[in-house]
Amino acid sequence: MKHLWCPWRIKYILGPKADSCIFCLPEHQDQDEERLILYRGQWNFVIINKYPYNNGHIMVAPFRHVMDLTLLSPEEALEMMQLLQRCTKILQKHFSPQGINVGLNLGEAAGAGIREHMHFHMVPRWNGDSSFMAVMDEVRVIPEHLQKTYRDLKTCFG
């Protein structure tokens, strides 16, 4: 039997679960660090994924609770694309990845974990970053604590 020790997960397991959408943010910014909110624009925001596929996995989402790209206003869509561009530059500068996956899963059939509130994923990638862990045991290794990633990236959004 193999064991993978993840002591930081106990806080999530024993903690209260949200009854509401995790992407629907309060207007106040008191919980931004706890929620890992990196940046708030006029129509969209940038957040670190608490359960990342890779180090530096961030998401861009609209403030408005919409589930489809076609429901965004022109202003929301424009700012979202501008944030995706800005985040790309920040991830490239901070992590020096050899690539970045940018993805949007519209609908449950497309793999959306939270289908009611659309969001783009941005995942830095390096050649060979999955190594043997994902292949052998379906395990991902995240080499940096989320709070350190948050503090480092937060300064990039100044």
pLDDT tens digits, one per residue of 61-107: 999 999 999 999 999 999 999 999 999 999 999 999 999 999 999 88
Residue ranges of the domains in the chain?
26-157
Q: In residues, how long is the chain?
A: 158
Active site residues: 119
Q: Which of 68-77, 96-105, 134-143, 145-154 has the lowest mean pLDDT?
A: 134-143
Model's pTM, two decimal places? 0.81
Classified by CATH at the fold level, domain 26-157 comes out as HIT family, subunit A (3.30.428)
Segment of 65-74, 121-130, 132-141 carrying the highest mean pLDDT? 65-74
Q: What is the pLDDT of residue 136?
A: 46
Distance CA 125, CA 96 (A): 9
Structure tokens at 131: 């190594």
Cα of first residue to Cα of last residue in the chain, in angstroms, is: 46
pLDDT band of 140, cuts 50, 70, 90: low
Cα(37)–Cα(2) distance, integer angstroms: 35
Cβ-count burial 32-53 (b if 16+ within 10 Å, e if not): beebbbbbbbebbbbbbbeebb
DSSP symbol at 106? -
The DSSP H or E segment spanning 122 is: strand 120-125
Residue 4 has pLDDT above 90, yes or no: no
